[in-house]
Structure 1
Amino acid sequence: MLQIERTVLLLLAAGKSERFGDVGSKLTTEFLGKPLGLHVAVALEDLPFLARLAVVADEALDYGAHRFETLRNADPARDMASSVRRGITRARELGADAVVIALADMPRVTAAHIQRLFDASNGGDSVIASSDGVSPKPPALFGRDRFEFLLGLTGDSGARDMVAAGRHVVTAPAELIDVDTPEELQRLQELVRAPEALTRPHSRRYQQD
């Protein structure tokens, strides 16, 4: 099993927020009393990672206050793969045995779920993704034997086939919601007040609009 103490947490927080509207960065939008983009950082603070890396486009959020090293990716043409490459390069420099890749716009991820990803791992070639019971999603755990592949990624979905072929750890769909639009944020705010809504398959709120 891969060890958290030998793993780097890589938080991707450099998205362009194009679907969220003219707000600068959606990650600074308030959700439950703190910026949307800080929830994952706070939720995973007590896990003993080897290091924490946040790939950002600007300094709008203070990830350093949560023990993250900040890596800049301000290229206007940036995509998710360019942020992954930046983070994996640094993880290699730090001698990591594995990387957990998480997204800053998924504010309901828990430390308990991340621990379950490690429980499902079995070595350096591990690929362990999260799942809502339908499809694989971030956060995902990659052993060091997968770093070379990750360094060759392009675009926003280059690892899709590898992740689909890996192991999947199922959790409640509410935990894996990512926020791309103001409407999705509003829906999430409603669901936080009734979190069981996303765990009932026949619930109206469970269904995608």
Structure 2
Amino acid sequence: MQCFGQLLLLDRPAPHRRKLAVTTPRIAIILLAAGRATRFGGGKLGTTLAGKPLARHAADSLSTLPHVQRIAVCSTQTPDLPGFSRLLLDPPEAPLSHSIAAAVAALGDVDAALFALADMPLVPAAHFAELVARFDGDRIATQVDGRNMVPAIFGKQHFPALAALVGDRGGGELLADAPWVDLPAHLALDIDTPDDLQSAKEQLQGL
């Protein structure tokens, strides 16, 4: 206690400041690995690229991320994807929206889901990690040449809209006004044809 004339000042301990807990969102990882591959001629995801099945490239990059659940939506032709729970699409020729709806229905208690395509083998693990780091609880997209697209993360408030998609349109329409992480176009190569596969081989050889 200190006394200054008639004014008494009591020495008081500094107020206790509560530390705010930082909550890490519980993110599920969804790898869309079904599809008909009609332009490729069938068997696309099992085709060898740089010594392993095409679909393994995306799966391996995604496996470096923290997660609470990992699901691969597959057809009977999808190769083994270690670390992912397989969700068999029925019928296998169902459009992309069915894969998305099936994945959403299989989700557990999560805050968000990262959707990626198994036929985009060149997306680096660092890009997926940046999506997770910049996710704010709503949405975060990949932007290629000014267009928002997957890979992307959707907060759980968007799950009903994802489940209601129809046809072969993915979740891109839900990403138009979302924040984004840039990805060079050559790394966003989507393998639809044998020529695309050859382009991917040439790019991997140049790395």
Question: Do both proteins adopt the same fold according to a TM-score greater than 0.5, normalized to the shorter chain?
Answer: yes
Structure 1 pair 60/141, CA: closer, same or farther in 2 (3 Å)?
A: closer
Matched, 1:13 2:33: yes
Q: Distance in 2 between matches of 1:105 and 1:44?
A: 13
Amino acid in the other structure paired with 1:157: R
Q: Distance in 1 between matches of 2:24 and 2:165?
A: 25
Tell whether the 8 Å contact from 1:8 to 1:98 is kept in structure 2 after alignment: yes
Deviation (angstroms), 1:194: 3.1
Query: Between Structure 1 and Structure 2, which shows a larger proportion of helix residues?
Result: 1
State, as a whole percentage, how many aligned pairs show the same letter.
Answer: 35
Deviates more, 1:176-185 or 1:68-77: 68-77
Structure 1 pair 60/149, CA: closer, same or farther in 2 (3 Å)?
A: closer
- Structure 2 unpaired stretches of 5+: 1-21
Of 50, 67, 71, 1:49 maps to 67
Deviation (angstroms), 1:105: 0.4
Tell whether the 8 Å contact from 1:2 to 1:122 is kept in structure 2 after alignment: no
Deviation (angstroms), 1:60: 4.0
Tell whether the 8 Å contact from 1:81 to 1:158 is kept in structure 2 after alignment: yes
2:175 aligns to what SS in structure 1? helix
2:100 corresponds to: 84
Q: Distance in 2 between matches of 1:173 and 1:99?
A: 23
Tell whether the 8 Å contact from 2:122 to 2:200 is kept in structure 1 after alignment: no
Structure 1 pair 54/154, CA: closer, same or farther in 2 (3 Å)?
A: same
TM-score normalized by the length of structure 1: 0.82
1:17 aligns to what SS in structure 2? coil
- Structure 1 unpaired stretches of 5+: 196-209
Structure 1 pair 37/166, CA: closer, same or farther in 2 (3 Å)?
A: same
2:122 corresponds to: 108
Q: Distance in 1 between matches of 2:73 and 2:92?
A: 14
Q: Distance in 2 between matches of 1:39 and 1:77?
A: 23
1:164 aligns to what SS in structure 2? coil
Q: Encode CA deviations 1:90-120: one digit per residue, 9 max, x unaligned.
A: 11xx101000000000111222111211232
TM-score normalized by the length of structure 2: 0.83
- Count of paired positions: 186
2:203 corresponds to: 191
Tell whether the 8 Å contact from 2:45 to 2:77 is kept in structure 1 after alignment: no
1:67 corresponds to: 83
Q: Distance in 2 between matches of 1:33 and 1:158?
A: 29
| Structure ID, larger Rg | 2
Matched, 1:133 2:133: no
Structure 1 pair 3/161, CA: closer, same or farther in 2 (3 Å)?
A: same
Deviates more, 1:160-169 or 1:46-55: 160-169
